[in-house]
Structures are given as C-alpha cells and as structure tokens.
C-alpha cells in the first residue's frame, strides 16, 4: 500500500478550516479534476455518510464512491473510496491549531493499486507523483478558501410596531 502525506499552514482558525472540509460540495472549487459531487449531504456529520465525486482525467470522466470511515468533529475525518479498476484510497484529513488564528491542515492518502507487481511499477512510474502534486494543490486551495472571510450575515431589521 502506498502512502502520501502533505501539510499546509492555514491563516484561519481550525473551526473555519473544518467547515470547508466537511462541505464536500466544495470539492469542484478546490480540486481541479473534480467536476461534480453527487448525493452529498449539506455537511458531513458522521461515520457512514456517502457521496459520489465525478472526476475528469486523461480525457475521461470517472465516478468515485466515498464513505466516511472516521469522524472526529473539528479534528479529523477519513473517507474511503474507489475510482474503479480496483484502485482504493483512504484520505485522512486532520486540522490542528497552530499559532493564534492559524491551523495546520494535513492530508494522509493511503492507496492500493491493482495488479500486484504491475501496480507497484505503475506507482513508481508516476501515479504517486501525480497524486502527491494533486494533494498539495488541493491543500493550497482549501487553505485559500478557508482564509477567505465567510460572508457576513445581514443583520435583522428592527421590527417597527404599526409599520
């Protein structure tokens, strides 16, 4: 099984980073290969939840089925999925407080390629490098998204009796 781990410092509180992570409907905004997310809840909130990620790569569209395997609110989430052809992934994303107003976001990707020795050769020939590059890009985009202030909610207008 291959493993890729990357981290990024985020100029945002852990709660803000967590809010971005659990809204998987944002995946098309942070992953250049994700074109759609289907059947996703508004926010991931517990183990067992599922969603479908539609990815465009090498001129084709693939659907990845994902399931939440671990859910530690505000701290860590692990999702497991498959893109077909026997390729299995587990992504574990953790958020930890850093300096005041900052967080560290880490992703650990464990993957298994099919075809035994042939799969290991494919991994050495670039699959791992491509996955690591994509992971770093996604982390950077999640960080940028989390660092953007959330839109302010409009203040309720006072109720004027008789108006």
In a domain, 163, yes or no: no
**How many domains would you assign to the chain?**
1
In a domain, 137, yes or no: yes
pLDDT, tens digit, 9 for 90 and up, residues 12-56? 999 999 999 999 999 999 998 899 999 999 999 999 999 999 988
In a domain, 114, yes or no: yes
pLDDT, tens digit, 9 for 90 and up, residues 51-88? 999 988 778 888 889 999 999 999 999 999 986 666 77
- Could you tell me the CATH number of the domain that includes residue 15? 3.30.530.20
In a domain, 72, yes or no: yes
Going by C-alpha positions, the residue among 3, 12, 19, 15 that lies closest to residue 91 is 3
Structural domain that includes position 73: 2-147
In a domain, 64, yes or no: yes
In a domain, 161, yes or no: no
- Walk across the sheet containing 76-84 and list its strands: 2-10, 103-112, 87-97, 76-84, 60-72, 50-57, 34-38
Token pair of 39 as six digits: 């059947």
In a domain, 91, yes or no: yes
Residue 109 CA neighbour count, 13 Å, CB half: 23
pTM across the whole model: 0.80
In a domain, 160, yes or no: no
SS3 64: strand
Query: What is the distance between the alpha carbons of residues 7 and 45, in angstroms, rounded to a whole number?
Result: 23
Do the strands 2-10 and 34-38 form a parallel or antiparallel pair, or are they unpaired? unpaired
């Amino acid at each position: 099984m291959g493993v890729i781990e990357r981290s990024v410092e985020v100029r945002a509180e852990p709660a803000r980073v967590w809010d971005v992570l659990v809204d998987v409907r944002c995946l098309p905004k942070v992953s250049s290969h994700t074109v759609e997310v289907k059947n996703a809840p508004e926010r991931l909130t517990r183990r067992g939840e599922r969603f479908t990620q539609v990815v465009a790569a090498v001129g084709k569209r693939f659907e990845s089925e994902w399931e939440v395997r671990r859910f530690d609110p505000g701290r860590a989430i692990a999702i497991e999925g498959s893109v077909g052809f026997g390729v299995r992934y587990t992504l574990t994303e953790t958020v930890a407080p850093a300096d005041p107003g900052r967080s560290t976001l880490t992703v650990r990707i464990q993957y298994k390629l099919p075809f035994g020795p042939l799969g290991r050769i494919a991994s050495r020939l670039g699959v791992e490098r491509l996955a690591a590059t994509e992971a770093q890009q996604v982390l950077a985009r999640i960080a940028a998204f989390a660092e953007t202030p959330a839109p302010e909610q409009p203040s309720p207008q006072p109720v004027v009796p008789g108006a």
